[in-house]
């Protein structure tokens, strides 16, 4: 059975004050003094961890992953390793503590993101890695390694059970002792593949997750994307993906057995922007209608064949098969050329309505010699495709 989950990614830090990008320090070529002085103005007085968690939960999400530290090196928790942290801002509250507590209070899992590049620490420069634009020009990476380990010990010791650890930016340094420490501190944790060894799961990002393949993933996978097509952190002039694009991506990834981590970017005041909450509510509305077809299921290996070959993914549980059409359907009917047996019932999960299913002839399947439509197909008409133009269509088939 798939262990896929729908989760909320949160990119948040002092960069929210720039209203530009989570890498505003580099992308906007800000002077170090100018950028790091943002910590003295960071006071997100509208931050409400419980509201964020409940927003995620209402959309059907099961876990939250937040940037404990992004590339700028600013720490969102109460750390003894540096003064460059949330505790040394006008806000002065441990965001990781509040979010982890709120998640568990609502029965959700909690995950942490940690950037290996660190543009604040004097020893963090790593010539083998990328994203080093604002790193200090010299230093001792071995000393930075000890700093990194001290921070990981804090994060994995002081905040309860951690579901996944999302390293970011592969260091191209093979050091399996680091993930070994992570597992000693959190025996049940899952670790991604962007750290110091291959980890437990893959992390395709943005359109890399939507490669057109329909086969199940070969290993645990967590695809990630942001509501904003060009930024993960809060950006005043956001370029939001269409609902069609995001829903197709979520359906395609989760139907292949992957988890989907969808990012939100809180403002400098600490709240989720209304337009992001509205988009998430619409996404959640679709997801909750079709969730039964994505969670606790497995691939249905029967060699189904459909007339004119619309792209589909078939999943099953017991005597039920769900047919996912991540890119939608070109017509309001599907015609099975190969199917298991007669259905007891066919339902469109988008609408919840039962559909007719009958063995019949269709004129476009005919014998070239006689001109007669002689081949029986399983005809399922009346699919309300025009009522749900932005949604992947999901059909539930309960077999006799």
Question: In this structure, which CATH number among 1.10.40.50, 3.20.20.80, 3.10.620.30, 3.40.50.300 belongs to the domain 6-293?
Answer: 3.20.20.80
Per-residue pLDDT 10s for the chain (400 aa) are 788 999 999 999 999 999 999 999 999 999 999 999 999 999 999 999 999 999 999 999 999 999 999 999 999 999 999 999 999 999 999 999 999 999 999 999 999 999 999 999 999 999 999 999 999 999 999 999 999 999 999 999 999 999 999 999 999 999 999 999 999 999 999 999 999 999 999 999 997 655 566 899 999 999 999 999 999 999 999 999 999 999 999 999 999 999 999 999 999 999 999 999 999 999 999 999 999 999 999 999 999 999 999 999 999 999 999 999 999 999 999 999 999 999 999 999 999 999 999 999 988 888 888 888 788 999 999 999 999 999 999 999 999 8
The C-alpha angle 44, 229, 52, rounded to 5 degrees, equals 35
The CA distance from 171 to 188, in Å, is: 24
- The answer to whether the Cα torsion of 142, 148, 150, 152 is positive or negative is negative
Q: 6-293 and 299-399: same fold?
A: no
C-beta separation of 116 from 135 below 8 A:
no
The CA distance from 47 to 43, in Å, is: 9
What residue ranges in 169-317 does DSSP mark as E strands? 190-191, 222-226, 259-264, 298-299, 305-306, 313-317
- The answer to whether the Cα torsion of 288, 289, 292, 294 is positive or negative is negative
pLDDT for position 210: 55
**Helix (H/G/I), strand (E/B), else coil: 285:** helix
Which superfamily does CATH assign the domain made up of 299-399 to? Golgi alpha-mannosidase II (2.60.40.1180)
- Sequence spans of domains, the chain: 6-293, 299-399
The secondary structure element, H or E, covering residue 65 is: strand 63-69
Longest dimension (CA), the chain: 83
pLDDT for position 365: 84
CB-based contacts of 76: which residues, under 8 Å, 6+ apart? Answer: 12, 13, 66, 67, 68, 69, 85, 86, 95, 96
For residue 377, give Cα distances in angstroms to 371, 394, 395.
17, 20, 17
CB-based contacts of 297: which residues, under 8 Å, 6+ apart? Answer: 1, 2, 315, 316, 317, 322
């Amino acid at each position: 059975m798939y262990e896929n989950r729908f989760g909320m990614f949160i990119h948040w830090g002092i960069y929210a004050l720039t209203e530009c990008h989570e890498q505003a320090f580099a992308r906007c070529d800000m002077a170090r003094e100018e950028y790091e002085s943002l910590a003295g103005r960071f006071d997100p007085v509208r931050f409400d961890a419980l509201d964020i968690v409940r927003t995620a939960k209402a959309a059907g999400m099961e876990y939250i992953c937040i940037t404990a530290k992004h590339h700028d090196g600013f720490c969102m928790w109460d750390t003894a390793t540096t003064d460059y942290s949330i505790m040394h801002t006008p806000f002065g509250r441990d965001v990781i503590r509040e979010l982890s507590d709120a998640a568990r209070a609502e029965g959700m899992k909690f995950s942490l993101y940690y950037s290996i590049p660190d543009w604040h620490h004097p020893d963090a420069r790593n010539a083998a890695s990328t994203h080093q634009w604002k790193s200090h020009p010299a230093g001792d990476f071995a000393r930075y390694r000890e700093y990194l380990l001290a921070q990981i010990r804090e994060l994995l010791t002081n905040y309860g059970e951690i579901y996944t650890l999302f390293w970011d930016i592969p260091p191209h340094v093979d050091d399996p002792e680091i993930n070994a420490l992570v597992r000693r501190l959190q025996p049940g944790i899952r670790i991604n593949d962007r750290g110091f060894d291959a980890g437990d799961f893959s992390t395709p990002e943005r359109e890399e997750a939507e490669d057109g393949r329909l086969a199940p993933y070969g290993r645990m996978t967590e695809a990630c994307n942001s509501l904003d097509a060009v930024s993960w952190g809060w950006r005043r002039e956001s370029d939001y993906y269409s609902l069609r694009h995001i829903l197709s991506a979520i359906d395609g990834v989760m139907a292949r057995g992957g988890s989907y981590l969808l990012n939100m970017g809180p403002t400098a005041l600490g709240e989720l922007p209304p337009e992001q909450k509205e988009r998430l509510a619409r996404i959640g509305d679709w997801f909750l209608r079709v969730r039964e077809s994505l969670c606790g299921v497995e691939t249905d290996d029967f060699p189904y064949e459909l007339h004119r070959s619309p792209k589909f993914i078939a999943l099953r549980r017991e005597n039920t098969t769900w047919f996912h059409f991540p890119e939608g359907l070109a017509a309001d009917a599907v015609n099975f050329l190969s199917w298991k047996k007669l259905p007891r019932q066919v339902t469109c999960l988008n609408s919840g309505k039962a559909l007719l299913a009958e063995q019949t002839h269709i004129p476009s399947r005919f014998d070239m010699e006689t001109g007669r439509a002689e081949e029986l197909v399983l005809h399922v008409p009346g699919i309300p495709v025009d009522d749900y133009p932005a949604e992947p269509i999901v059909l539930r088939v309960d077999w006799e």
